[in-house]
Amino acid sequence: MSTFKAPRGTYDLIPPVSATYLAVREAIAAPLRRSGYGYVETPGFENVELFARGVGESTDIVTKEMYTLTTKGGDQLALRPEGTASVLRAALEANLHKAGSLPVKLWYSGSYYRYERPQKGRYRHFSQVGAEAIGAEDPALDAELILLAHDAYRSLGLRNFRILLNSLGDSECRPVYRAALQEFLRGLDLDEDTRSRIEINPLRVLDDKRDAVQKQLTGVPLLRDHLCDACRAYHAEVRELISAQGVTFEDDPKLVRGLDYYTRTTFEFVHDGLGSQSAVGGGGRYDGLSEMIGGPALPSVGWALGVDRTVLALEAEGIALDLPEATSVFAVPLGEEARKILFGVVAELRAAGIATDFAYGGKGLKAAMKAANRSGARYAIVAGERDFAEGVVQLKDMESGEQTPVPLDKVVPTLRTKLA
Ligand code: AMP
């Protein structure tokens, strides 16, 4: 062990478990790739102001959880705590909304950073795959995204997740509701922190996880009873489109989410095997965000799914993904001359697209075969000078143990057929 350890709240992804993470990222991306979403990658850090304005000055993410730094040049930066603000910033900067037809559909995958109290399922460095559809107000787009996340989880074999759905209204109905909510909340017995939240961001109080607060919220006015006609109709259509696909969801009138930019549709995917950190993914519509960061009006919708928690969900359901072995063929040379020739055969196999590894380090036969076993390879090719003198290698089936000579010029086609 070295003197150093991974920083608190972080962990390393190492083989073989890391293969599951890659597969999860790929499984979440696959439905997006099939649905017109293009890949976008943005920097790991941004101007801190982007998140302050975009995510919201009063959110926990901005006030408590951002990793901020001042560069030697005096720039105020933050490690990205979420993806939406960055992706929208990038789309605006590249004028994607002017270049082609709307919506601009983008997906991304990467690391995010929040200075949170670490616990199982909650880390300071975590990984998300996300999708954003920028510049269209259409209930079918909200439904598409919810269905694509649903498809991703189902393709991984997950079953014990639920979709929570709500509408947060728009700039017409939310202010009216907000005032009604504030009036109700001001009459409650709340601590000072929560009281100040009533003035800054009262909707977040609905989201308070403490029992003592939740008890007092009986009879609290709910946004669903205050939606304007346009929001009501919009929400009804989203619900209808999802239901028509046979996908079930639960209405959660208190679902607010921890980011200020949401309007209308908001949703969360929760998994019942994860304990307190049950949200595996979430998202919603953010019609005002573009203007909040200095862009034109661009109604948009998106989500981010947590890769770490999706892996935990797989574990909770006892699902082992059917991952192909990393190595199909393992080459074992016997002797110095054989080593050079076989090294060339390995390159040929690799060029033919066959995943091949080699016994490095001048191991003896026994240690080399052990390495072959450990690699998971289906076949080993073993060859010494005598074999090469006869123009063959020995092909060993690692399952049956059977060994047969194969002419050197037939190694690639033989293995290609056997592995097909
Ligand atoms: P949010 O942007 O907070 O809605 O996060 C979207 C998803 O990212 C969540 O549902 C989690 O799966 C994941 N996530 C957020 N924060 C963390 C964290 N600190 N550790 C691990 N996963 C996280």
Give the DSSP per-residue string, 36-87: TPEE----SEEEHHHHHHHH-TTSHHHHTS--EEE-TT--EEEE-S-SHHHH
Flag whether pLDDT at 6 surpasses 90: yes
Cα 244 to middle of ligand 1, angstroms: 29
DSSP states of 91-130: HHHTTHHHHSSSPEEEEEEEEEE-----BTTB-SEEEEEE
- Each residue of 332-372: pLDDT tens digit? 999 999 999 999 999 999 999 999 999 999 889 999 999 99
CATH class of 329-419: alpha beta
Dihedrals phi, psi of 201, to nearest 5 degrees = -150, 75
* Beta carbons of 395 and 403 less than 8 angstroms apart: yes
Ligand 1 neighbourhood includes 258 CB (under 6 angstroms): yes
Atom of ligand 1 nearest to the CA of 116: 19
Alpha carbon nearest to ligand 1 atom 15, residue: 306
pLDDT at 231 over 80: yes
How high is the pLDDT of residue 9? 98
More confident position, 209 or 77: 77
Residue nearest to atom 3 of ligand 1 (CA): 258
CA 306 – ligand 1 centroid, Å: 5
Residue nearest to atom 17 of ligand 1 (CA): 122
pLDDT of residue 165: 98
Ligand 1 and 125: CB distance under 6 A: no
**pLDDT reading at 260 higher than 80:** no
Q: Is the pLDDT of residue 379 over 70?
A: yes
- C-alpha 259 to ligand 1 mean position (Å): 12
Q: 201 near 256, Cβ under 8 Å?
A: no
**CB of 5 closer than 8 Å to CB of 118:** no
Tell me the CA–centroid distance for residue 64 and ligand 1, in Å.
15
309-320 pLDDT, tens digit per residue, is: 999 999 999 999
Regarding the beta carbon of 122 and ligand 1, being less than 6 Å apart is answered: yes
Which residue's CA is the closest to the ligand 1 atom numbered 16? 122
State the CATH architecture for 17-173+227-316. Answer: 2-Layer Sandwich (3.30)
Residue 280 CB–ligand 1 contact under 6 Å? yes
Q: What does the alpha-carbon distance between residue 129 and residue 126 come to, in Å, rounded to a whole number?
A: 10
- pLDDT tens by residue, 129-173: 999 999 999 999 999 999 999 999 999 999 999 999 999 999 899
What is the distance between the alpha carbons of residues 304 and 56, in angstroms, rounded to a whole number? 17
Q: pLDDT digits over 267-290, tens only?
A: 999 999 999 899 999 999 999 999
Residue 58 has pLDDT above 80, yes or no: no
Which atom of ligand 1 lies at the shortest distance from residue 114's CA?
19
Residue 227: the pLDDT is: 96
279 lines ligand 1 (CB under 6 A): yes
Residue with the nearest Cα to atom 11 of ligand 1?
306
Ligand 1, closest atom to CA 281? Answer: 10
Q: How far is C-alpha 147 from the geometric centre of its chain's CA atoms?
A: 16
Q: Is the CB of 116 under 6 A from ligand 1?
A: yes
Question: Whole-model pTM above 0.95?
Answer: no
Instruction: Report the pLDDT averaged over residues 175-193.
Output: 93
pLDDT category at 100 given cuts 50, 70, 90 is: confident
What is the reported pLDDT for 258?
67
Looking from the CA of residue 82, the nearest atom of ligand 1 is 2
Same fold, 17-173+227-316 and 329-419: no
- 128 within ligand 1 shell (Cβ under 6 A): yes
Domain ranges of the chain: 17-173+227-316, 329-419
Token duo for residue 368: 């080399």
SS3 20: helix
